[in-house]
Amino acid sequence: MSTVEDVVSYIRSKNAGPFWLTIDAFCQNIADTKKVVAAFERERIFIAKSFQVKPEDLEIYCLEAIQVAKISLPRNPIEGSRNERDMHGGQQYVSLLDIVCE
């Protein structure tokens, strides 16, 4: 049993404008990329709950050409609001590391 952390070679999160967050999971090959994308799809509700957004608002992309699994989602809270913990969104990927990839 492997997790997202085991499978990816590099993962990052960043703001995509003040109202969106985007997470790029770089994989070593297409099979792993599909595995991570499938895991994100399977855990859509868990991920949405972790980020306090609606499951249908999660955009999940499988970019086979560059072997990247990508998630974009509305940012909650909005960047820089008084309850901000992570201005650039740079540590948000950590919430995904323990998701199991089958």
Partner 1 sequence: MESVKVFVPYGAVGLNCTQEAFEAGLLMKPDIISSDAGSTDSGPYYLGSGHGKYAIEDVKRDLKRMVLGADKLKIPMTVGTAGTCGSDEGVDTVYQLIVEICQEAGIHKKIAKIYSQQDRKTIKQKYHEDKVQGLHGAPVITEATFDECETIVALLGAEPYQEAFKNGADIIIGGRSTDTAVIAAYPLLKGCDPASCWHAAKTVECGGVCTSAGLQGGVFMEVDDKGFTIRAVQPQSTVSPYSVSAHLLYENANPVQLTEPGIRIDTKNAKYSALSDTAVRVEGTTIEYLPYTMKLEGAGIAGFQTVSMAGIRDRKIMNEPLQWIDEVSEAGIEKLEKAGISKESYDFWLRPYGYNGVSGMAVPEDYVPNEILMMLTVTAKTQELATQIAKAFNPLLLHYNMFAGKQMPSFAFIFSPAEMERGAIYEFKLYHTVLLDDPMELCRIVYETI
80 binds partner 1 (CB under 8 A): yes
- Residues that bind partner 1 (rule: CB under 8 A) add up to a total of 35
Candidates 1-9, 28-36, 39-47, 75-83 — which segment interacts with partner 1 by CB under 8 A?
75-83
b vs e for 26-60, b when ≥16 Cβ sit within 10 Å of the residue's Cβ?
Answer: bbeeeebbbbbbebbeebeeebbeebebeeeebeb
C-beta of residue 11 within 8 angstroms of C-beta of residue 68? no
CB of 69 to partner 1, least distance (A): 11
The helix or strand, by DSSP H or E, that contains position 59, with its residue range, turns out to be: strand 59-63
Q: Which is nearer to partner 1, 2 or 91 (CB)?
A: 91
Closest CA to 76 of 66, 86, 90: 86
Candidates 75, 93, 96, 99; binder of partner 1 (CB under 8 A) is 75
Name which of residues 15 to 74 contact partner 1 (CB under 8 A): 15-20, 22, 24, 26, 50, 59, 61, 63, 65-66, 68, 70, 72, 74
